[in-house]
Structure 1
Amino acid sequence: MKNTVLKVEDLHVSFKTQTGNVTAVRGVNFELKKGETLAIVGESGSGKSVTAKSIMQLLPKSTTEISKGDIVYDGKSLLGLSSKQITDIRGSEISMVFQDPMTSLNPTMKVGKQIMEGLQRHQKMTKQQARERALEMLKLVGIPKAEMRLDSFPHQFSGGMRQRVVIALALACNPKVLIADEPTTALDVTIQAQILDLMKDLQQKTETAIILITHDLGVVANMADRVAVMYGGKIVEQGTLDEIFYNPQHPYTLGLMQSMPKMNEDRSKPLLPIGGSPPNLATLGEGCAFAARCPHTMKVCHSFTPRDTVVGEDNHTAACWLQDPRVQKPEAEPLETAEVVGAT
């Protein structure tokens, strides 16, 4: 059994705005084990990146409040640490790769020096040791002529090569957890495949646990061991890759799967979009956040927030009243065709 390295428990994150508090993350729970890849998927605004930045504590303290819950790394709460303590963990034990590599790289500093800085700070290496390790990392991520490129500036690299440099920077100190927030969105498909293959290869060598934030289900299918589906600031379904892709139990997850083209299906068959728009988190009240867009809505969906219900093996859960045994609904009807008793 793999060891749990990170655990998020009932996390609630709010932002202070001119119109009042907006709760962007509402009761998120998940565990990450050593060497595992957990993909967090969902539409823009579902709370994926806020969850990731909460773990790293990169959200502005003046406007952010973690009102409830905990983030436990390696057996200790990150929320109770001082700024210095979290800075010591950030980059050395938990690292993050962002969507745009230029937000992670200092455009005025040579890439080798940027990698060396973290090594000298966190690993207490000498300048020569840090330079040798930086060179090793550039070679590991596939930068050609690494000896020469060590003294190049970020603008002298292509987008795909910059992202490789960012991955080298993130992994240089051998972190236990890597958070990758849309790491390949800005890249073309060929470079995207190369970056994903690189991340998988490095993970096998280092046993780094990865949280992959994405809206691309193709990337999820290629990378993930487990999948957490987020909607309206909550995880609405969570399970293994196979459970989520081949046995979805929440209407939103099913909608995502039906909107994705499949290689083995007739390409003339139209994709089925999810109707409506994501909820406004500033005005979201009680009930299921997906109720307004769900084709299987019941009266209870508008009044009470659904709890997580075990719906399969390997801790496959769904937060949906359709799966809750306390609610009356048609028996022996698949999710795709169910007509719910008391629908509004």
Structure 2
Amino acid sequence: MKPKLLQVKDLHVHFKTYAGIVQAVRGVSFELYEGETLAIVGESGSGKSVTSNALMKLIPQPPGIYAGGEILFNGRDIIPLSDKEMAKIRGNDIAMIFQDPMTSLNPTMKIGKQITEVILQHKAASRSDAKERAMELLNLVGIPFPEKRYKQYPHELSGGMRQRIVIAIALAANPKLLIADEPTTALDVTIQAQILELMKDIQKRSNTSIIFITHDLGVVANVADRVAVMYAGQIVEYGTVNEIFYNPKHPYTWGLLGSMPDLSNSSDELLRTIPGSPPNLIHPPVGDAFAPRNEFAMAIDYEAEPPMFQVSPTHFAKTWLLHPDAPKIDVPQVVQQRIDRYVKEGEA
């Protein structure tokens, strides 16, 4: 077993607003091992990005509040650390790739300088060494004609190339953990696939641990080792990628899988959606937060919050449907069709 790099224990993050306190993250716990990729998936507003920003202590305080829990990085809780102490960790040990590369890059500065400045800030290196390292990174992330791109500005590059540059900057100080917050959302499907393949390749070469934040379960199928499904600020299902895709247990996971478009099906079947909307986390609902949108909800779902039931040593789900006394509910047909397709593609 590889050593644990990160342990998040019962994390609570709140935000003070004029309307009240938003409980954006409510008791999130998970672990990340060295060289592993964990995908955190869920709809907008589920708490994914707040969780990822909390891991780097990028939550502005105020209005943000770390209301409870621990974030142990290499065994050290980073929540009590000062901004000065966190500055040594950001970039050096934990780096982040954001959704829109144009907001991450300085439009007035050439690409090469943006990469070398990060290297010089975090590593003891001369300018010539920093340039040499920058060229290595440009090659690593698959930038053609790196000498030419080194001297260009961000607006002279395509969206896919800009995202590769952002990845190169994130890797500049050889971080142990890379957090990718929806890194392919702004890209077209072809470039998206290339960026995902690039991140897999980088992980194999450098043994970097990756947390991949996305709203699209399909994106993580071939990237993640484990998946955490988030809803209403909580992790509702957690397991290996095979367990989540081939043996999902939570009705919300069923909904996410069922709403994925089946590009191999030429029929006129309408795209499924999950009915309703996520709850208002100023006033979190009593019981199971997903109950109002769950066609299989039972009376207890509106009365008591379900515990995290263990399905296997690596698979857990927060649903009363796993209680021994609950009625047996078969996976919905449309979800089973998706699962059967994944199995068939895996055997091909």
CA distance in 2, matches of 1:79, 1:224: 26
Is contact 1:112–1:134 with CA below 8 Å preserved after alignment?
yes
CA offset digits 1:286-308 (Å, max 9, x no partner): 21110110111112111211111
Is contact 1:72–1:78 with CA below 8 Å preserved after alignment?
yes
Tell me the residue number matched to 2:317.
318
| Residue number among 321, 326, 330 corresponding to 1:329 in the alignment | 326
Tell me the residue number matched to 2:346.
none
CA distance in 2, matches of 1:229, 1:243: 12
CA distance in 2, matches of 1:145, 1:165: 13
CA distance in 1, matches of 2:225, 2:267: 28
Is contact 1:240–1:314 with CA below 8 Å preserved after alignment?
no
Is contact 1:36–1:209 with CA below 8 Å preserved after alignment?
yes
Q: How does 1:125-140 map to 2 (within 5 A)?
A: 125-140=125-140
Structure 2 unmatched runs, 5+: 334-348
In structure 2, the residue corresponding to 1:39 is in which secondary structure? Answer: strand
Q: How does 1:251-266 map to 2 (within 5 A)?
A: 251-262=251-262
CA distance in 2, matches of 1:160, 1:264: 26
Is contact 1:13–1:66 with CA below 8 Å preserved after alignment?
yes
- The one-letter amino acid paired with 2:244 is I
CA distance in 2, matches of 1:264, 1:152: 40
Is contact 1:239–1:314 with CA below 8 Å preserved after alignment?
no
Is contact 2:41–2:227 with CA below 8 Å preserved after alignment?
yes
Tell me the residue number matched to 2:38.
38
In structure 2, the residue corresponding to 1:223 is in which secondary structure? Answer: coil
CA distance in 1, matches of 2:225, 2:7: 16
TM-score (norm 2): 0.92
Is contact 1:248–1:254 with CA below 8 Å preserved after alignment?
yes
Tell me the residue number matched to 2:16.
16
Tell me the residue number matched to 1:282.
282
CA offset digits 1:244-272 (Å, max 9, x no partner): 11111001101111112345656344443
Q: 1:172: Cα distance to partner?
A: 1.4
- The one-letter amino acid paired with 1:135 is M
Q: How does 1:1-344 map to 2 (within 5 A)?
A: 1-262=1-262, 267-311=267-311, 313-325=312-324, 328-330=325-327, 332-336=328-332
Tell me the residue number matched to 1:342.
none
CA distance in 2, matches of 1:306, 1:329: 12
Is contact 1:48–1:213 with CA below 8 Å preserved after alignment?
yes
Q: Report the identity percentage.
A: 57
CA distance in 1, matches of 2:258, 2:271: 6
In structure 2, the residue corresponding to 1:28 is in which secondary structure? Answer: strand
CA distance in 2, matches of 1:197, 1:90: 25
Is contact 2:320–2:326 with CA below 8 Å preserved after alignment?
no
Tell me the residue number matched to 2:341.
none
CA distance in 2, matches of 1:65, 1:224: 30
TM-score (norm 1): 0.93
Is contact 1:36–1:208 with CA below 8 Å preserved after alignment?
yes
Is contact 2:321–2:329 with CA below 8 Å preserved after alignment?
no
In structure 1, the residue corresponding to 2:222 is in which secondary structure? Answer: helix
Is contact 1:38–1:210 with CA below 8 Å preserved after alignment?
yes
Q: 1:184: Cα distance to partner?
A: 0.5
CA distance in 2, matches of 1:250, 1:10: 20
CA distance in 1, matches of 2:158, 2:270: 36
Structure 1 unmatched runs, 5+: 338-344
RMSD of equivalent CA atoms:
1.5
In structure 1, the residue corresponding to 2:221 is in which secondary structure? Answer: helix
CA distance in 1, matches of 2:276, 2:329: 25
In structure 1, the residue corresponding to 2:272 is in which secondary structure? Answer: coil
Change over 3 Å in CA distance of 1:267–1:36 after alignment to 2:
farther
In structure 2, the residue corresponding to 1:81 is in which secondary structure? Answer: coil
- The one-letter amino acid paired with 2:111 is V
CA distance in 2, matches of 1:85, 1:116: 23
Change over 3 Å in CA distance of 1:60–1:333 after alignment to 2:
closer
Change over 3 Å in CA distance of 1:191–1:266 after alignment to 2:
closer
Q: 1:234: Cα distance to partner?
A: 0.4
CA distance in 1, matches of 2:329, 2:61: 48
In structure 1, the residue corresponding to 2:170 is in which secondary structure? Answer: helix
In structure 1, the residue corresponding to 2:16 is in which secondary structure? Answer: strand
